[in-house]
Structure 1
Amino acid sequence: MLALMLNSKGLPYPDPIHPIIVHFVIAMVFFSFFCDVVGYFSRDVRFLEVSFWNMFVGAIAIFLAIIFGQLEAGLAQVYPAAQPTLNFHTVMGWSLGAFVAGMTAWRFVIRNRHPQKLPPAYLGVATVLVCLVFLQVYLGSKLFWVYGLHVQPVVETMQPGISP
């Protein structure tokens, strides 16, 4: 059996990669929504085009964020108080991956059929997406700032023989 060498943060690489990728995804989804709103009200098709490409890249990146999130969650020493939040964050992550992929597909169809217009229904569903992303950000922040997953002092405390 091949032993995995973990650093002081409980990872085989220097720092968690999941937050880096996920912050990129958050920015892409929020900026896409912003461009959709501006494009809808200004009727400037350039904003709608920027929105589409941001959502498209975000849809690819969210699956990278999920993969690294799963890897890093599997390497974390999760104590019972953190487990429900981690479980909800995981389910929300996979759900958001499907949601963003579906929204991107819908946006692709809209872009091909009516590149000059955006239906209000799309903006409504995109608003729900932004709200769900805010919830996911809250859960991820809680895992890091409250429960300390992959934070060096917490990882060191969880070492065998140290934790109660």
Structure 2
Amino acid sequence: MFDDLLPPLNEHNLPYPDTIHPIVVHFVIAMVLFAFLCDIIGYFSQNTRLYEVSWWNMLFATISIFIAIIFGQTEAGLAQPYDAVKPILNLHTLIGWSLSAILATITGWRFILRSRDPQKVPVSYLAVSLVLVGIVCFQVYLGDELVWVYGLHTVKVVEAIKEGTL
């Protein structure tokens, strides 16, 4: 019914040249990891200016993760996942949405800490940030598996799905 309103899909089964989700999500990954690194270095070196760098990275990572989710959901829907990939894709989706809530909560906590005393970051915050880094790393592993093992949005897999051989 609405098929004539949608743009045609290319060889990657996308309405645009290539996947956008990995591009945006790499910003999130880099900003979260860099924020944690700045906090750790700032904590041990007493260089409190790094806390400001960390704060801004967390803020922009929180905004960016929602953009990454929008493109991730769109691209997951267009991927036409086959049976073997569905459990990994579902787990990646669940963790992605959960990660957005976790990241927003930690960034909110960081805002409160920064408002109270921008010169200090408690060890409890660093511990929670380390858990966040662990979740991000696991999510990266799942995303890599979707592309490099299962081949979502690669030309050969898209062709195999269209031909019905996969």
Q: Same fold (TM over 0.5)?
A: yes
Once the two structures are overlaid, the 10-residue window that deviates more, 84-93 or 35-44, is 35-44
1:106 aligns with 2:109: yes
Deviation at 1:162, TM superposition (A): 4.2
1:37 maps onto 2:37 in alignment = no
Quick one: distance in 1 between partners of 2:116 and 2:110? 10
Match of 1:65 in 2: 68
Aligned to 1:25: 28
Report whether the alignment pairs 1:124 with 2:124. no
DSSP 3-state at the match of 1:142: helix
State which of 143, 147, 150 in structure 1 corresponds to 2:150: 147
* Letter paired with 1:140: G
Structure 1 stretches lacking a partner, 5+ long:
none
Are residues 1:75 and 2:72 paired? Answer: no
CA RMSD in angstroms, aligned pairs only: 0.9
Give the Cα–Cα distance (whole angstroms) in 1 for the partners of residues 146 and 54 of structure 2.
Answer: 30
2:165 is aligned to: 163
Are 1:43 and 1:117, in contact at CA under 8 Å, matched by a contact in 2?
no
2:19 is paired with a residue whose SS is coil
What TM-score comes out, normalization by structure 1 length? 0.97
C-alpha distance in 2, partners of 1:101/1:42?
A: 27
Could you tell me which amino acid in structure 1 is paired with residue 2 of structure 2? L
CA contact under 8 A between 1:7 and 1:14: conserved in structure 2? yes
Scaled by the length of structure 2, what TM-score is found? 0.96
- Kindly report structure 1 stretches of 4+ aligned residues shifted beyond 3 Å: none
CA deviation profile, 1:104-128 (whole Å, cap 9, x unmatched): 0000000010111100000000000
Cα distance in 1 for partners of 2:102, 2:164 equals 42
Identity %: 59
Q: Distance in 1 between matches of 2:98 and 2:46?
A: 31
Match for residue 89 of structure 1 among 67, 72, 92:
92
